[in-house]
Structure 1
Amino acid sequence: MDQLIQLKTRGLIIQDDNRVISYLRSVGYYRLTGYMFHLQTNDGNHTFQENTSFDDVILHYKFDNKLRILLLSYLDRIEVALRARLIDNYSINLGFFWYVDSNYYENKNIHDIITSEVISRFNDPQERFLRAYKSKYTSETYPPANMGMEILSFGKLSKMFEGLINDSTKLEIAKSLTLPNAAILASWLNHLTNVRNACAHHSRIWNRKFSAERPVIPSRKDYKFNGDIPENFNTTLYGVISIIIRLLSVINPNNSFEAKVLSLFQEYPQINFRKMGFPNGWEKNPAWKPWTNKL
């Protein structure tokens, strides 16, 4: 197999050819190369660093896979909490069909995107609750907010929150999640949407740089993260994990996300966590420390 020969030519230590071929067929050469770059020299020929073996590649692949699954499971909780807050906080003040009124949106384009999505799903309902509502209320064009929000993805919900006018209800949601204003929360939600999409599409995540839609990091004393925050905090997994822990500290104070992250790190001590944005000494003084202690 040409790919196997190429890996050997580049200096990768391979003890079992059949094992490598099996991974190449089941995972794919292109996907696996994403876990090789940091193990190679900068000579322009993709030569592997001395004593690098195929086991090193697979170790990072397996770590990344477990990390993606862990992130997805807890990002789902943030998505559900955002949906509940949008439904409850706005519906109480504005009624069950508030989300289709363009007057409540600062960004009318986002209003059009949201309503078009809901209309499309409502006209050809696949969900049982939509079919039941539509058969009973035949004159309605839209479902009420508690149903309409359920058919929107995390990305659409995040964009909806960003596009709403900056009123007391929007600020109330941000404050309930330990943030000083809605703009910061909107940036966090858009950022986490990108993380969630990368995880859902099985993209390499562990040392990824998230350069699009960077989250705003609060600087005011009562809202800032703990310790000295690295310059790349809002583009790396260190920032992502810190943001998730902070949101979960309010949404689900007894969650086990932090413990599971630390357990995963202990399972893979060979991982260079600095490539994930973690600074020296983070174990004793993590960015999220005040939030796990205070809330």
Structure 2
Amino acid sequence: MMRTILPDKEMNRRTRLPPHRAGHGRTSLPHLRKAQSDIRPPGEPLLKGSDSEAELAHPRPHGTSHPASVSTQPITLVSGGGRIGAIEMSNLQTALKGCGEMGHNCVNSTPHATHECGANQAGSFFTPMKPPLSFSDQLNLMSTRGLTIDDRELALKRLSETNFYRLRGYWLTYERDGRFIPNTTFDSIWNTYAPDCALRRWVWEAIAPIEIKARALFAYHMAMECGPLAHEDNRYFRSARAHSHSMESLIRERNRALRDGVPCAVHNVEKYGDLPIWAAVEIMSMGTVSQLYGNLDPAKSGVAKSIAGEFGVKPFILRSWLRHLTYIRNICGHHSRLYNRVMTTRANLLKKDSGYDSNKEFPTFLVLKRIYDRSWPERWPSMLDGLEALISAHESVSLNPMRFPLEWREVLG
């Protein structure tokens, strides 16, 4: 019987990774990967791929189903050390062909409990997938919903260079009950989209030195107080499970750095067999640094307090700020919409800024201001001038959806 192998994060939620030495909390990176492979009971098959030790299939909750990911990469089943066959994942297309014909958009994991009317065990029904539309038909659809298109050729070009659903987020403020408000033009939507691109670049550049400073301070204070490999020792962290998740991320980042020949990674692994914290932070994502900082146990070290002190705030505030800025950085890095976005990861504001708290964008700019006021006060005025010039160049775009107050310039000044 073939067992579904869980992805790294799901697997680690169910099975705690053991330390490589009894009585010691540190799990070094070379041993952690072995510990993961040791979780599989002997004799049970493991999915093996060409790029890593395990290509793991995503699980799905009981009674639900999800669209299958189709890959052409061959997967080899290994049982008890011997190969028992290979499966070409593109063959899944044939196996799942009937799903669309049934009017279901995903695999039914409980066919034995499916009613003849099409409901699955959870009682869910799925609408048949709608067919794709050409760029021309997409534009026609927008027109039937009340959009004015002055230059069809230019609109088609822009639609083909962006994507219907990317632009969709920018016309939310021009839409009521599924139709465009009167006199809305394609140019109106484009003129909202264009400044958001510039705004993301501004925010990205503002976050960059904060990320670098956070890495540097985390490495310095962790090493000086706790040792060069303290980031791998779960005794310094509140949650061993969260720490092992962070180590899984670091393993992936380290392996990528070794494949790419990053000098600091190659040198330290070849010489010491591991990465000291001052080298590790150079290959860590901001997310990993944020997770490790947020998980520091104040009862075991003063690292969290020391780092927060250099940012001029308390540890719980900095923890919130780093987590929020990681979220914002990822939005900008993936070219996602920043304008008129509901923030699912919010920052704790200082008491003096609490009147401007919301789940929109303006609190992000307040956080940036407070960090720059403490760390680089001489840089902020010119950055604020750049933001004002960006906003002034697009006066037709309302700042209300981002919860900018009328006096935003004075508040951020």
**Aligned twin of 1:201:** 334
**Cα distance in 1 for residues equivalent to 2:253 and 2:397:** 44
Residue 121 to residue 267, structure 1, CA distance change in 2 (3 Å):
closer
1:105 pairs with 2:216: no
**Aligned twin of 1:182:** 315
- How far the C-alpha of 1:49 sits from its partner, in A, is 1.8
**Aligned twin of 1:18:** 153
**Cα distance in 2 for residues equivalent to 1:14 and 1:168:** 61
Residue 22 to residue 119, structure 1, CA distance change in 2 (3 Å):
closer
CA contact under 8 A between 1:35 and 1:60: conserved in structure 2? yes
Moved more, 161-170 or 74-83: 161-170
Give unpaired runs (5+ residues) of structure 1.
290-295
Give unpaired runs (5+ residues) of structure 2.
1-135
Of the three residues 211, 214, 221, the one matched with 1:89 is 221
Say what the alpha-carbon RMSD is for the aligned residues: 1.9
**Aligned twin of 1:38:** 173
Of the three residues 148, 152, 159, the one matched with 2:284 is 152
CA contact under 8 A between 1:81 and 1:251: conserved in structure 2? no
**Identity across matched positions, percent:** 27
User: What TM-score comes out, normalization by structure 2 length?
Assistant: 0.62
CA contact under 8 A between 2:196 and 2:338: conserved in structure 1? yes
Residue 237 of structure 1 aligns with an amino acid whose one-letter code is E
Moved more, 239-248 or 115-124: 115-124
Q: Secondary structure at the match of 2:160?
A: helix
CA contact under 8 A between 1:96 and 1:144: conserved in structure 2? yes
- How far the C-alpha of 1:122 sits from its partner, in A, is 4.3
Residue 87 to residue 203, structure 1, CA distance change in 2 (3 Å):
same
Of the three residues 362, 369, 373, the one matched with 1:249 is 373
**Cα distance in 2 for residues equivalent to 1:14 and 1:81:** 47
Of the three residues 182, 191, 197, the one matched with 2:324 is 191
Moved more, 250-259 or 164-173: 250-259
- How far the C-alpha of 1:231 sits from its partner, in A, is 4.5
Residue 276 of structure 2 aligns with an amino acid whose one-letter code is P
**Aligned twin of 1:275:** 401
**Cα distance in 2 for residues equivalent to 1:122 and 1:21:** 43
Residue 231 to residue 97, structure 1, CA distance change in 2 (3 Å):
closer
**Cα distance in 1 for residues equivalent to 2:342 and 2:283:** 30
**Aligned twin of 2:271:** 136
Residue 188 of structure 1 aligns with an amino acid whose one-letter code is W
1:3 pairs with 2:127: no
Of the three residues 51, 59, 69, the one matched with 2:183 is 51
CA contact under 8 A between 1:91 and 1:98: conserved in structure 2? yes
Moved more, 248-257 or 236-245: 248-257
- How far the C-alpha of 1:134 sits from its partner, in A, is 2.3
Bigger strand share: 2
Larger Rg: 1 or 2?
A: 2
> Which structure's relative contact order is higher, taking Cα pairs within 8 Å and 6+ residues apart?
1
Bigger helix share: 1
Moved more, 97-106 or 244-253: 244-253
**Cα distance in 1 for residues equivalent to 2:196 and 2:323:** 22
CA contact under 8 A between 1:187 and 1:215: conserved in structure 2? yes
- How far the C-alpha of 1:207 sits from its partner, in A, is 1.0
CA contact under 8 A between 1:111 and 1:163: conserved in structure 2? yes
**Cα distance in 1 for residues equivalent to 2:325 and 2:141:** 37
Residue 153 of structure 1 aligns with an amino acid whose one-letter code is S
**Aligned twin of 2:303:** 169
